[in-house]
Amino acid sequence: MNRTLFAPFAALASLALIATSASAELPKGAKAPGFTTRAALAGKEFGFSLRAALAKGPVVLYFYPKAFTSGCTLEANAFADAMPKFKAAGASVIGMSADDIATLKDFSRKECRDAFPVGVASPKVIAAYDVAMGTSGLTTRTSYVIAQDGRIVAVHSDGDYRGHVDKTLAAVRALKK
């Protein structure tokens, strides 16, 4: 392969490796860091508090890199489709990204289908949950299931969106046993 063509591919591969290896999600059993943030549901902005959400039941907190990108859109669609199952299991879901609130309002309508909220993941929240994707400002695709006592009972981190809904739903259902 020509060196001029190879250099950009090598740089991209290196960035992907750094982004993957820099992530060291919080472990099962850890206390979930509390936070409040601006969020959107059905296109409307509101204040979200993890503490208030946990008072109602377990929370699935899933981080995704960027609204309206292919994997993030498909993941939001999958969570929206599964919301009746999460609700039946007594859990709430919130998606988090570093997108601004205007983007999240739109994303909550179009891709989350008004089924669950999405919130602004500030740099402080991203650091607290150890989901930074290198220095890009984006988050890794990481899902946490947080029990009502504030402890993390499941963690799933994978760039492929497809396992997140099934794995988090199984963890929520296991809480009821």
What backbone torsions phi and psi does residue 151 show, to the nearest 5 degrees?
A: -90, 145
What backbone torsions phi and psi does residue 169 show, to the nearest 5 degrees?
A: -65, -40
Task: Examine the residue annotation and report whether 72 is marked as an active-site residue of this protein.
Answer: yes
User: Strand, coil or helix: what is 65?
Assistant: coil
Residue at token pair 């601004």: 100
What does the DSSP 8-state code read for residue 174? H
Residue from 59, 72, 94, 104 carrying the catalytic annotation: 72
For residue 26, count other CB atoms closer than 10 A to its CB: 18
- Give the separation between CA 6 and CA 13, rounded to whole angstroms: 11
Q: What share of the chain is helix, strand, coil (3-state, %, to 5)?
A: 40, 25, 35
Provide the annotated active-site residues: 72
